[in-house]
Chains A and B, each alone.
Chain A
Amino acid sequence: MSVGSSGTPDIVSGVVLIAVFAVALRAFPSTAQTTDPNPLMQVYYLILPSLAVAPTMVGYLARIVRASTREVAESDYVRTAVLKGIPGGWIRSRHIGRNALPPTLAVFSAQFVYLLTGLVAIERLFNYPGIGSVLLKATQSSDVVVLATGTLLAAVLLVGVNLIADVAVLLLNPRLRTVSS
């Protein structure tokens, strides 16, 4: 299932979702914005586009988590914990969780940046004026100022999110903290 969901490109999900829910069932709107000031309505309009983006990212993340967890679960120290008689919940949180999390965080920080800047296709499909669309228009009209600002913003975001992820990993894994051993 994760294979299917991570493999589907977001535009495909978008198109399928629109076709099914917006056209056939008429349950959701086919655009992402509304002039209605009610925040609940705004969320309502955003549901379909969110559902379009989510599967790809969730699928990929799920695969990474699964691989990382499996590797940790087969390690010797988890065996030690089992043979010490530690209850399952404890093993999952303290022994497996703490050690399987770092690679997941790394992937997540990369995805976070993508979420903010790389969703041009979905924005176009759902008519949402996002950062990606703005940048696209800027190239087409050779608007250097917007382009420069946008790139700078993206770079800052990238560095910032990676920094947060790195700090989180350091907190989790004491082996990386000290310079001397």
Chain B
Amino acid sequence: MTIELSKQGTPVTGGPGAPTLDIRHLTVSYRRQGTLTRVLDDVSLSIAPGEAYGLVGESGSGKSTLAFSTVQYLAPNAVVEGGEILFHGEDMLTREDAELRAIRGSAIAMVYQDPSSALNPTMKVGDQIAEVYRAHDLCSREQSVDKSVAVLQQVAFSEPKRIYDRYPHQLSGGQQQRVVIAMALAGNPSLLVLDEPTTGLDLSVQAEVLTLVHELHRRNHVAMLFISHDLATVRKLCDRIGVMRYGRLIEEGEAEALFTAPTHPYTRGLIDCLPREGTHKDGVRLRPIDEPGSEQEAGLQRLAVPIDRSGVPVLEVSGVNKAFGSVCAAKDIALTIHRGEILGLVGESGSGKSTLGRMIVGLESPDSGEIRLAGRTLARTVEKRARTDQRSLQMVFQRPDTTLNPRRRVRATLARAISKLRGTLSVEALAAQVRLGPAQLETVPRRLSGGMKQRVAIARAFAGDPEVVVCDEPTSALDPSIQAAILNELADVAAARGTAYLFISHDLDAVRYLADRVAVMYLGEIVEEGPVDEVLSNPRHPYTRKLLAASLSKFSVE
């Protein structure tokens, strides 16, 4: 590793035992409309050569800023108020442009969160890798092509030459991320910085990429800074872990030790708050961090909702088909949900689960088949449905940022929902059901956190006292601790009203907690269905087994 550095002309300081990366008392703020907001507060950490360091934190913790500051890539309005970032003994913050350019991509390389936007759409993928060699003058043009093909093979592509000629949009998300990793490896870096590299990828693809990273780390002995909000992933991958909150590094330690015996209450809260095997909504409340009263409530039990399996099912789907051109989104789907029941629907992207949810509420219309609500056949599109059907069947959406009209105060949003859906509660009473107070009622969505926005969305869906609510990945875009809070909320409201849910998610742990029964979808078909414990502990279909394996490889039971 030190040999590469001297090729770039930077002097090598520090002996063989010195840390690759040594951040000392780093303090960074952003200047926004005149005021300074601190994003990193006196952060110090060091990574030894070949060590994998996991940095965990929720959104707003400053972990991404820390990642980008290692290559001195900060926004124009960032102000470094103090500290140093020593890479092989030299402070990155004082480097000249030319030196930075020499280091970036070769000595320090980055892997990003969203691979589809990280690649140039108009350049061949292989050329983008070859660029690294050419830019750092490591070899000739012909040699760079050969080397690119070689590194593509290293990232587990079986036909590297064909992949070389592809464009980014012709590759899947997992393949794109492997290309980005290949680009990072090309320069033979001594430090690899990965900023949430698997967030947003499908479960099985996540497992694939993480396995690859693990392999590469072991083989190449590169020092790694792995940023994530998922403690479980980091635990498997990294030697040491640091936990960040509000710009401070609040705890640091060996990976296993941190997990089994965390000292800081926040770390403990992060570990405890997520649902895991053995917990179900019918007995246990989750423990979100920082929620007023959650400590006392955690002790309370939630009453199980009686499920009426003998009467008319509240929702029935039969023979539903839908195709988008040549892509099959739904093939002969049949589902039943009884009163008071929560049916989980799991699958990866492209499985058709979202489309099914949208067809049920009427946002899309099936090509054929029937959907019945309490025995009544529903019209294909929501616009054509009767008013009573509209109020009885509602949806909670995935992204909290776009689920509410940004120009309306919460009160107006809820009032409109109540009036249109003939609700009987007052705005205050409805808000109280999801633990929102008068202060939140008077604000605009912009000033609410993701979790609060999602609560408003839940309240809005329940304005007309629906019989069935379709939840389309309602927790996927939230931080882990907020996920716990929202899962609690959904379970509480269901328990209070006896509403049935179709809970769509790719998160098997959340489904295990919330659902009574679960159905697994793959390429438009339901491949397995049954009580949630049975399906998720003893899967029969090979696809379900694959999903479960991918999920477990991230999170192992105590």
Instruction: Answer whether A and B touch in the complex at a CB cut-off of 8 Å.
Output: yes
A94 at the interface (CB under 8 A from B): yes
Find chain B residues with CB under 8 A from A85 CB. Answer: 101-106, 132, 135-136, 187
Residue in chain A with minimal CB distance to B108: A83
Taken residue by residue from 92 to 128, chain B's Cβ proximity to chain A (1 for < 8 Å, 0 otherwise) reads as 0000000001111110011010100111111100000
Could you tell me which residues of chain A, from 49 to 96, have a CB within 8 Å of some CB in chain B? 75-77, 79-87, 90, 94-95
Asked whether any CB of chain B lies closer than 8 Å to the CB of A127, the reply is no
User: Which of B101, B104, B112, B135 meets A76, CB within 8 Å?
Assistant: B112
How far does the alpha carbon of A84 sit from the alpha carbon of B105 in the complex, in Å?
Answer: 4
Tally of contact residues, A, Cβ under 8 A: 23
Interface centre among A75, A87, A99, A174, by most chain B C-beta atoms within 10 angstroms, is A174
Cβ-neighbour of B170 out of A79, A99, A181 (below 8 A) = A181
Main secondary structure of the interface of A (DSSP, over half): helix
B414 to chain A, nearest CB (A): 36
Select A77's contact among B105, B118, B169, beta carbons within 8 Å.
B118
CA distance A39 to B418 in the complex (A): 78
- Interface flag for B167 (CB, 8 Å): yes
Q: Which residues of B contact A76 (CB under 8 A)?
A: 112, 114, 117-118
What 0/1 pattern do residues 148 to 170 of B give for CB contact below 8 A with A?
00000000000000000001011
- Would you call A172 an interface residue if the criterion is a C-beta within 8 Å of the partner chain's C-beta atoms? yes
Alpha-carbon gap, A71 to B81, bound state (A) = 30
CA distance A95 to B106 in the complex (A): 19
Instruction: Determine whether the beta carbon of A173 is less than 8 Å from that of B122.
Output: yes
Closest to A178 in B: B170
Whether, in the assembled complex, A98 has its beta carbon less than 8 Å from a beta carbon of chain B, the answer is yes
B463 at the binding interface (Cβ < 8 Å): no
Q: Judging by beta carbons under 8 Å apart, are B132 and A99 in contact? A: no
Which residue of the partner chain A has the closest CB to B117? A76
* A/B pair count, beta carbons within 8 Å: 79
Contact B112 A80 (CB under 8 A): yes
Beta-carbon nearest neighbor of B123 in chain A: A94
One of B104, B122, B167 near A84 (C-beta < 8 A): B104
Q: Are A86 and B121 in contact (CB under 8 A)?
A: no
B73 engages A79 (CB within 8 Å) = yes
| Residue in A77, A81, A172, A181 whose CB lies within 8 Å of B117 | A77
Known contacts: A80-B112, A83-B73. The answer to whether A99 contacts B120 by CB under 8 A is: yes
CB distance from A91 to the nearest CB of B (A): 10
Residue in B73, B110, B123, B180 with the greatest tally of chain A CB atoms within 10 Å: B123
- Do A175 and B120 contact each other (CB < 8 Å), given the known contacts A80-B112, A85-B105, A86-B135? no
Decide if A80 touches B102 in the complex (CB within 8 Å): no
A72-128 CB contacts (< 8 Å) to partner B = 75-77, 79-87, 90, 94-95, 98-99
Query: B135 — which chain A residues lie within 8 A by C-beta?
Result: 84-87, 90
| A99: contacting residue among B105, B109, B122, B180, CB under 8 A | B122
Instruction: Closest A residue to B325 by CB, please name it.
Output: A180
What's the minimum C-beta distance from A129 to chain B, rounded to whole angstroms?
A: 44
Whether the pair A174, B122 counts as a contact (CB closer than 8 A) is: yes
Q: Is B131 an interface residue (CB 8 A)?
A: yes
A46 to B249, CA, bound (A): 70
Taking a contact as CB atoms under 8 Å apart, the answer to whether B167 and A175 are in contact is yes
Kindly list chain A residues whose C-beta atoms are within 8 Å of the C-beta of B167: 174-175
A window 143-181: CB within 8 A of B: 172-175, 178, 181
Task: Determine whether the beta carbon of B117 is less than 8 Å from that of A84.
Answer: no
Q: Which residue of A lies closest to B97 (CB)?
A: A88
A45–B118 CA distance with the chains assembled, in angstroms:
52
Contact check, A98 vs B73: say whether CB atoms are below 8 A apart: no
| Interchain CB contact under 8 A, A77 and B102 | no
Does B203 sit at the interface, judged by CB under 8 A?
Answer: no
The reply on B183 being an interface residue by CB < 8 A is yes
Inter-chain CA distance A175–B117, complex, in Å, is: 13
Decide: B121 and A77 in contact? CB cutoff 8 A.
Answer: yes
Residues of A within 8 A of B109 (CB): 83-84
Q: Mark B209-250, 1 if CB is under 8 A from A, else 0.
A: 000000000000000000000000000000000000000000
Please report which residues of chain B, range 44-100, place their CB below 8 angstroms from some CB of chain A when the two chains form the complex.
71, 73
Chain A residues, Cβ within 8 Å of B117: 75-77
Do B121 and A173 have beta carbons less than 8 Å apart? yes
Rounded to whole angstroms, the CA-CA distance of A99 and B119 in the bound complex is 12
Given the interface pairs A76-B112, A174-B167, A181-B169, the reply to whether A83 lies near B71 with Cβ below 8 Å is: yes
Docked Cα-Cα span, A175 to B170, in Å, equals 8
- Of A77, A84, A95, A173, most buried by chain B (CB within 10 Å of CB) is A84
Residues of B within 8 A of A178 (CB): 170
Task: Check A83 against B104 for contact (C-beta < 8 Å).
Answer: yes
Tell me if A98 and B104 are in contact (CB < 8 A). no
Q: Which residues of B contact A75 (CB under 8 A)?
A: 117
Q: Distance in Å from the Cβ of B190 to the closest Cβ of chain A?
A: 14
Q: How far is the CB of A143 from chain B (nearest CB, A)?
A: 49
Q: Which residues of B, 234-287, contact A by the 8 Å Cβ criterion?
A: none
* Residue ID in chain A nearest B107 by CB atoms: A85
Interface centre among A77, A90, A178 (most CB of B within 10 A): A77
CB distance from A83 to the nearest CB of B (A): 5
B104–A82 CB distance below 8 A: yes
Q: Which residues of the other chain, B, contact A99 by a CB distance below 8 angstroms?
A: 120-122
Contact B122 A80 (CB under 8 A): no
Q: What separation, in Å, do the CA atoms of A77 and B168 have in the docked complex?
A: 11
Q: Is the CB of A80 within 8 A of B119?
A: yes
Q: How far is the CA of A93 from the CA of B170 in the complex (A)?
A: 23
Report Cα–Cα, A178/B136, bound state, in Å: 33
A76-B112, A87-B135, A90-B135 given as contacts; is B105 within 8 A of A174 (CB)?
Answer: no
Does A174 lie within 8 Å of B121, measured CB to CB?
A: yes
Known interface pairs A80-B112, A181-B169; A86-B105 also in contact (CB < 8 Å): yes
Nearest-neighbour CB distance to chain A for B124, whole angstroms, equals 8
CB contact between B120 and one of A87, A95, A181 (< 8 Å): that residue: A95
Q: Which residues from B are CB-within-8-Å of A94?
A: 120, 123
| Interchain CA distance A88-B93 in the complex, whole Å | 20
Residues of A within 8 A of B110 (CB): 80, 83
Bound-complex Cα distance A158 to B169 (A): 32
Cα A76 to Cα B111 in complex, Å, equals: 12
10 new A-B contacts at CB < 8 Å, known A99-B121, A175-B122: A77-B118, A80-B183, A81-B131, A84-B132, A85-B102, A95-B120, A99-B120, A173-B122, A175-B121, A181-B170
* The 7 nearest A-B residue pairs measured at CB: A85-B105, A84-B105, A76-B117, A85-B104, A77-B120, A98-B122, A86-B135
- The 12 listed contacts between A and B (C-beta, < 8 Å) are A77-B118, A80-B118, A82-B104, A83-B71, A85-B101, A85-B135, A86-B131, A94-B123, A95-B120, A95-B123, A99-B122, A175-B167
